[in-house]
Amino acid sequence: MNPVGNFFKDWATNYDSQLLKMASRDMVMVPTVSTLMGNLVTKPDQSPLEQWIVQIILEIVHRFHNLGGKVALGNDFNDGFVKERMPLLEMEMLLEAGLTALEVIEAGTRYAAPVCGCDNELGTL
């Protein structure tokens, strides 16, 4: 039994088609997973339900990314997990969601700059 796979198969049957629609419309996802789940991820003794929640959220990001969706690094809430002006936990979680190190860098530069309206000043070299 695959509880994550079953979630999308039995409960969220239209999720993939909606993610594909977002990706095809060139929408950018800013998942802010550390804000959503920072306490769960850093909790040393996660319950099975908490582990499942973390896996579902990361799988959503993974599926969107695999469908060609652009993921931007960002966090709109100073929740204590943003250290030294960089959302390090967010970056780690994007890696866990299946993005490569280079794709996480792109999420924080190439895709984050236009989301913030700064693509004429920031982004890539």
**Domain boundaries along the sequence of the chain:** 25-115
Phi first, then psi: what are they for 34, rounded to 5°?
-70, -30
Q: How many CA atoms lie within 13 A of 114 on its CB side?
A: 12
Are the C-beta atoms of 17 and 65 separated by less than 8 Å? Answer: no
The model's pLDDT over 5-16, given as tens digits with 9 standing for 90+, comes to 788 888 888 989
Classify residue 26 as exposed, middle or buried by CB count within 10 Å of its CB (0-12, 13-18, 19+). Answer: exposed
| pTM of the predicted structure, to 2 decimals | 0.84
pLDDT band at 85 (very low <50, low <70, confident <90, very high): low
Q: Return the pLDDT at 32.
A: 84
Q: Return the pLDDT at 119.
A: 82
d(CA 89, CA 81): 6
